[in-house]
């Protein structure tokens, strides 16, 4: 077990930010914390990092109690904060070296670790430049380099891709996978559903400070007893086609959006023959047919009753 | 070794701000130059305009006005030392604004070590600023700073200690570096005024005992008059007590858990 939270509670004055959260993060996994802004993700991360003290509950990192072994635990962790945290007045190399030195790295070891972190984030050729000349994506990469220079066993990333271009985002996501392949346990907090879906082995869904669901993506999706959506893109769609489909047994709702018919049903396999029959009878030309699988977005919607970006 | 890294980084950050350092060293020398011109030189000109037969009047004038220059030199050095220390202390607010404080707080080091590193890093900068002001004022305006470099360093370090403690408190209260910097400047100027560093007034005499400027500049004057360590021990003790009290207050402020925000 890498990290264990047991009935953790955190209050800010009267506001309950984290409510009885218990979760286990396994060694070597990428664990996603998914939730909208203000859900309590950052508070959970700050408690694991020792920046905030829980009002109740226990937090253990690799078997060490955070209340008694704060300094030892900090040595194991690397944090990529949500906001870019680098010195604008220092060069990229000086930034990484300074944060490396705070973890006790010195001399040749420090130099090698700094170069490795810069190579890893693709910034070695920019090492003598100051970050004020960097793009948003490059600053984000430097933000990561500063967090991994001491080769932490557990890396905690709090929304590390906010506000960057797709190219830099892909670079960062690939870097995270590589860090994990090298053995690091990663906690990845995000409100970008697609990132978590692509990256994480297991996901914890947080809303209003509570852990609403936890498991692999498949486990979470299979827990959903949800409706299925059939999408049919077609041309020459007559109005009576929609009415005919609505009358079929097992259909919950049918809507037309431009050239796409969206059919909501409990059982797609059961209704599909009847739907195609109706459309064939009305000479509708089908261009594309797809069955929308449940995704984390729909899981989130079912668990919390709202969309992630509401 | 981690402490050394913090000291070095803080020293480097401030010493890279050439404009600020130039301001903090040139401004006090400019002030001294103006005082020198308007008091000492003016007195000399008056004296020289009088017939050389009245030699006694000429000598007395120069002594009085040289004392005045000494007095102002000590007050100006004190003011700029406090200002430098406070500006350096305000970098904590900049650290919070740049979000780098959060990274320092998640590193495996105690808050005490972080604050000590900042304090010591700043002390080097302020000592250098003091060294420039003292040697330039001695060279160009013949200001006497006594003959004990160690005692000068002792009082300067104590000034840094008290001023940085004040800066820690102000940085702990205000979240914006501009506001914090402004408040610090106002505090320094107000203390300089109250201590009699800008104008000499009997009314300010008693109030001045409650300002740190008074205890620092008095110590410089005692050293200038040939005083030894024991002669400034009261000043050092009072400053140490004030500094420690302020540091305790600052440590209470920095004990709160969201100190990095």
**H-state helical runs in A127-257:** 136-148, 166-181, 193-199, 217-223, 239-247
Rounded to whole angstroms, the Cα distance separating B24 from B30 reads 11
ipTM metric: 0.76
Q: Is residue B156 part of a domain?
A: yes
The pLDDT > 70 percentage for chain B reads 84
Q: Which of B99, B108, B260 sits opposite A84 (nearest CB)?
A: B99
Rounded to whole angstroms, the Cα distance separating A234 from A285 reads 5
pTM above 0.80, yes or no: no
Domain encompassing residue B161 = 2-253
| Contact (CB<8Å) A81/B109 | no
Q: Which residue positions in chain A have pLDDT lower than 70?
A: 223-226, 306-310
Average confidence (pLDDT) over B146-170: 87
So what's the pLDDT on residue B60? 47
Q: Is residue B187 part of a domain?
A: yes
Q: Which of B1, B12, B108 sits opposite A74 (nearest CB)?
A: B108
Q: Are B78 and B220 in contact (CB under 8 A)?
A: yes
A with B: how many residue pairs have Cβ under 8 Å apart? 67
Q: Is residue B261 part of a domain?
A: no
Rounded to whole angstroms, the Cα distance separating B88 from B75 reads 20
Rounded to whole angstroms, the Cα distance separating A142 from A136 reads 10
pLDDT in tens, A124-160: 999 999 998 898 888 999 999 999 999 999 999 988 8
Contacting residues of A for B98, CB less than 8 Å apart: 85-88
For residue B59, name the pLDDT band (cuts at 50, 70, 90).
Answer: very low
Average confidence (pLDDT) over B197-220: 76
Q: Is residue B195 part of a domain?
A: yes
pLDDT in tens, B29-50: 998 888 887 776 666 666 666 6
Contacting residues of B for A102, CB less than 8 Å apart: 2, 5-6, 103-104, 107-109
So what's the pLDDT on residue A250? 87
Q: Is residue B89 part of a domain?
A: yes
Residue corresponding to tokens 């590589």: A178
| Contact (CB<8Å) B98/A101 | no
- Any CB–CB contact under 8 A between A83 and chain B? yes
Q: Is residue B258 part of a domain?
A: no
By C-alpha distance, the chain B residue nearest A102 is: B2
Q: Is residue B260 part of a domain?
A: no
Q: Is residue B136 part of a domain?
A: yes
Q: How many domains does one find in chain B?
A: 1
Cβ atoms within 10 Å, residue B146: 18
So what's the pLDDT on residue A259? 86
CA distance A86 to chain B (A): 6
């Amino acid at each position: 077990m890498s990290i264990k939270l047991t009935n953790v509670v955190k209050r800010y004055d009267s506001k309950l930010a984290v409510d009885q959260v218990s979760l286990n993060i396994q060694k070597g996994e990428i664990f996603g914390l998914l939730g909208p802004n203000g859900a309590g993700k950052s508070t959970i991360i700050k408690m694991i990092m020792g920046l905030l003290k829980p009002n109740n509950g226990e937090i253990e990192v690799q078997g060490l109690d955070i209340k008694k072994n704060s300094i030892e635990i900090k040595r194991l962790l690397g944090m990529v904060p949500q906001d870019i945290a680098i010195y604008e007045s220092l060069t990229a190399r000086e930034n990484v070296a300074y944060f490396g030195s705070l973890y006790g790295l010195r001399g040749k070891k420090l130099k090698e670790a700094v170069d490795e972190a810069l190579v890893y984030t693709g910034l070695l050729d920019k090492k003598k430049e100051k970050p004020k000349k960097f793009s948003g994506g490059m600053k984000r990469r430097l933000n990561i380099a500063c967090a991994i220079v001491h080769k932490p066993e557990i890396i905690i990333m709090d929304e590390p891709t906010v506000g960057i271009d797709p190219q830099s985002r892909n670079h960062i996501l690939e870097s995270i996978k590589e860090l994990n392949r090298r053995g690091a346990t990663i906690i990845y907090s995000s409100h970008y559903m697609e990132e978590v879906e692509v990256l994480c082995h297991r996901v914890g869904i947080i809303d209003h400070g509570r852990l609403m669901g936890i498991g692999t993506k498949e486990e979470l999706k299979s827990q959903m007893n949800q409706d299925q959506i059939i999408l049919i893109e077609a041309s020459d769609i007559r109005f009576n086609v929609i009415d005919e489909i609505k009358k079929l047994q097992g259909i919950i709702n049918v809507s037309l959006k431009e050239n796409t018919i969206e059919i909501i049903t409990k059982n797609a396999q059961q209704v599909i023959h009847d739907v195609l029959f109706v459309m064939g009878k009305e000479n509708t030309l089908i261009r594309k047919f797809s069955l929308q699988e449940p995704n984390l977005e729909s899981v989130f919607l079912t668990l919390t009753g709202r969309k992630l970006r509401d | 070794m981690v402490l050394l890294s913090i000291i070095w980084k803080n020293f480097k950050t401030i010493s890279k701000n050439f404009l600020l350092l130039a301001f903090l060293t040139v401004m006090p020398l400019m002030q001294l130059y103006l005082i020198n011109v308007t008091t000492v030189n003016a007195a000399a000109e008056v004296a020289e305009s009088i017939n050389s037969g009245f030699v006694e009047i000429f000598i007395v004038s120069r002594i009085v006005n040289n004392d005045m220059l000494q007095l102002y030199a000590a007050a100006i050095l004190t003011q700029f030392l406090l200002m430098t220390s406070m500006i350096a202390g305000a970098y904590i607010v900049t650290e919070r604004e740049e979000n780098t404080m959060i990274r320092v707080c998640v590193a495996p080091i105690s808050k005490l070590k972080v604050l000590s590193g900042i304090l010591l890093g700043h002390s080097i900068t302020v000592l250098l600023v003091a060294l420039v002001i003292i040697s330039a004022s001695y060279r160009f305006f013949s200001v006497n700073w006594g003959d004990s470099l160690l005692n000068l360093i002792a009082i300067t370090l104590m000034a840094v200690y008290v001023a940085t403690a004040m800066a820690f408190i102000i940085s702990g209260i205000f979240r914006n570096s501009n506001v914090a910097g402004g408040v610090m400047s106002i505090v320094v100027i107000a203390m300089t005024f109250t201590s009699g560093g800008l104008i000499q007034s009997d009314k300010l005499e008693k109030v001045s005992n409650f300002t740190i400027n008074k205890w620092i500049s008095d110590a410089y004057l005692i050293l200038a008059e040939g005083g030894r360590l024991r002669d400034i021990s009261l000043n050092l003790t009072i400053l140490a007590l004030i500094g420690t009290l302020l540091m305790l207050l600052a440590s209470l402020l920095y004990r709160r858990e969201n100190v990095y925000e």
